[in-house]
Amino acid sequence: MSTSEIKIDRVLDVKGLVCPRPMVMTMNTLKTMEKGQVLHVMANDSSTKHSIPALCERGGYRLIEMKEEGGTIHFIIQK
């Protein structure tokens, strides 16, 4: 299944915020979601390239994709 075929359930735009806020907001959003739902996070703080994957690993979430486009880092995470 390609990422274009994945149904996004929630979108979280944390551009302009610096860590730890993007990671904390991602964690809080994931907590409110149902198992199996997919979250698309958009950030532009380079430290999120490490903190959000680490959050996924600690929380047992599946990081489906992480890509950077035009200064924005996109994370597709399945709870």
Tell me the C-alpha distance between 79 and 70, whole Å: 26
For residue 78, the cross-strand partners are: 38, 62
Distances in whole angstroms, Cα of residue 37 to Cα of each of 20, 22, 56, 75: 23, 19, 14, 14
Using one digit for the tens of pLDDT, what is the confidence trace for 42-77?
999 999 999 999 999 999 999 999 999 999 999 999
Could you give all domains of the chain from N- to C-terminal order, each with its CATH number?
3-78 (3.30.110.40)
The pLDDT score that the predictor gives to residue 6 is: 87
The pLDDT score that the predictor gives to residue 2 is: 56
Report the SS3 class of residue 36: coil
The pLDDT score that the predictor gives to residue 5 is: 81
User: What's the CA angle centered on 12, arms 36 and 40, to 5 degrees?
Assistant: 45
Tell me the C-alpha distance between 43 and 23, whole Å: 10
Using one digit for the tens of pLDDT, what is the confidence trace for 6-51?
899 999 999 999 989 999 999 999 999 999 999 999 999 999 999 9
Stated pTM of the model = 0.92
The catalytic residue positions are 19
